């Protein structure tokens, strides 16, 4: 694997001074107008679907069945952390996708070739955002779930 060195600031400044001002403005304008915006999340649809699925589950777990209090606590901690993870992921994906597109790590949807959506840049490897959030929340869940167990009295052999 080879390492590429960055150009020094003096070389970059000299090259920038040699370019005409008109080329700089047209390049900057075309770069901002050609990048399509990322589609906003469909918050209304997500909210309706999640409520449709969560309400019956919450009724069964919290009221219909007799569930141990420690298990209910664990389920509620998991639900709260999952909700927090959803919002963290939802805010981090646009940030990561703009960063990935700036680094030229994108592709085009070849199934939509010939349509306007076929020329939209699709950011690569956004699963890393979801994976990092999942790992952090799994570690936090372990901490919150088992903290009460480790604070109890110690029972020794005998």
Q: Minimal CA–CA distance to 89: which of 125, 120, 127?
A: 127
What mean pLDDT do residues 118-146 have? 86
Residue 82 counted as domain residue: yes
Percent of the chain with pLDDT over 90: 19
Distance CA 145, CA 76 (A): 10
Which pLDDT tens digit goes with each residue over 54-63?
A: 999 889 988 8
Residue 9 counted as domain residue: no
Q: What is the pLDDT of residue 7?
A: 62
Q: What is the pLDDT of residue 31?
A: 45
Residue 125 counted as domain residue: yes
Q: What is the pLDDT of residue 24?
A: 47
Total number of domains constituting the chain: 1
Distance of CA 27 to the CA centre of its chain: 30
Tokens of 50: 């999640």
Residue span of the structural domain in which 97 resides = 68-148
Q: Are 117 and 108 in contact (CB under 8 A)?
A: no
Residue 158 counted as domain residue: no
Residue 25 counted as domain residue: no
Distance CA 108, CA 122 (A): 6
Which pLDDT tens digit goes with each residue over 79-89?
A: 999 999 999 99
Of the pLDDT bands very low, low, confident and very high (cuts 50, 70, 90), residue 145 is confident
Tokens of 73: 């606590």
Residue 91 counted as domain residue: yes
CB-neighbour burial class of residue 129 (10 A; exposed 0-12, middle 13-18, buried 19+): buried
Residue 157 counted as domain residue: no
Q: What is the pLDDT of residue 11?
A: 57
Residue 137 counted as domain residue: yes
Q: Are 106 and 34 in contact (CB under 8 A)?
A: no
């Amino acid at each position: 694997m080879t390492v590429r060195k960055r150009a020094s600031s003096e070389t970059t400044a000299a090259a920038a001074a040699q370019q005409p001002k008109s080329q700089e403005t047209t390049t900057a304008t075309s770069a901002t107008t050609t990048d399509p915006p990322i589609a906003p999340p469909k918050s209304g649809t997500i909210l309706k679907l999640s409520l449709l699925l969560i309400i019956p589950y919450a009724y069964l777990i919290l009221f219909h069945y007799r569930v141990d209090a420690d298990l209910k606590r664990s389920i509620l901690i998991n639900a709260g952390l999952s909700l927090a993870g959803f919002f963290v992921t939802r805010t981090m994906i646009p940030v990561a996708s703009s960063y990935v597109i700036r680094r030229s790590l994108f592709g085009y949807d070849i199934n939509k070739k010939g349509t306007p959506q076929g020329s939209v840049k699709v950011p690569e490897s956004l699963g890393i955002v979801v994976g990092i959030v999942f790992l952090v929340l799994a570690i936090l869940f372990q901490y919150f779930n088992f903290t009460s167990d480790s604070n109890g009295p110690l029972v020794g052999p005998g």
